[in-house]
Structure 1
Amino acid sequence: MQAADIFKALGSAKRLQILEWLKDPRAHFPPQRDGDLVEDGVCAVFLADKLGVSASTLSEHMRLLVAAGLVTAKPVKQWTFYRRDAEGAARVALMLGEAV
């Protein structure tokens, strides 16, 4: 994880919105048929729909968040589920504190 990756990931209002939703997924998303919202994460389909973007656009947003260490991806059946990585977020906060 490079500082540039982190700044790039945090440089989008849409990605910041995703991170905010993933802090409390039960408050922002309906129950899922497959996977627990907290344990497994939120299905990419729900994220794309709520964000109002295509699956490929969401995939790029999530790729950047995963690369920055802020989100983890988990395959469940044919879907990808994303959840906030609290430990990763803490590492990023520490790294950013040292960078400035």
Structure 2
Amino acid sequence: MTTHTTSSLDASAQLLDVFKALANPVRLQVLQWLRDPDLHFPPDQAIADQHEVGVCVSHIQAKTGLAQSTVSAYMASLQRAGLVRATRVGKWTHYRRDEERIAQLVDALGRSL
């Protein structure tokens, strides 16, 4: 019973991190944009495959109109919640959705509510 309670608490804590990350409308919007990066970010300006490597933080920053430091903090929050993965390409950081992790979180949400 202790194991079940501990794993249940762990799952609840993970979901809480996700909810906190998605409670910000800009972070939620960016995650939605990353679902179809070629539709929302100019593929001709990408320096790497937007589906494999992700979207450059500078392109996310340009689309949101927010300061680079704010966007970096927002993306770090999404990464900590397990919603995106970061990849460095030279001096640039690219972000893409972690679809496997998102599916696991959706499943966990379905089991816990």
Provide the TM-score with structure 1 as the length reference. 0.93
Q: Which has the larger radius of gyration?
A: 2
Moved more, 12-21 or 29-38: 29-38
Q: Hey, which bits of structure 1, 4+ residues long, moved more than 4 A? A: none
State whether residues 46 and 55 of structure 2, in contact with CA within 8 Å, keep that contact through their aligned partners in structure 1: no
1:94 equivalenced with 2:110 (yes/no): no
| Shift in Å, 1:83 | 0.4
2:83–2:102 Cα contact (<8 Å) kept: yes
Which secondary structure state, in structure 2, belongs to the residue aligned with residue 23 of structure 1? coil
| Structure 1 unaligned regions, length at least 5 | none
RMSD: 1.3
Higher RCO structure, 1 or 2 (CA under 8 Å, sep 6+): 1
Rounded Cα–Cα distance in structure 1 between residues aligned with 2:81 and 2:60: 18
Q: Report the CA distance between 1:37 and its aligned residue.
A: 1.1
Give the percent of matched residue pairs that are identical in Structure 1 and Structure 2: 47
The answer to whether the Cα contact below 8 Å between 2:46 and 2:56 also exists between their aligned partners in 1 is no
User: How far apart in 2 are the matches of 1:95 and 1:86?
Assistant: 14
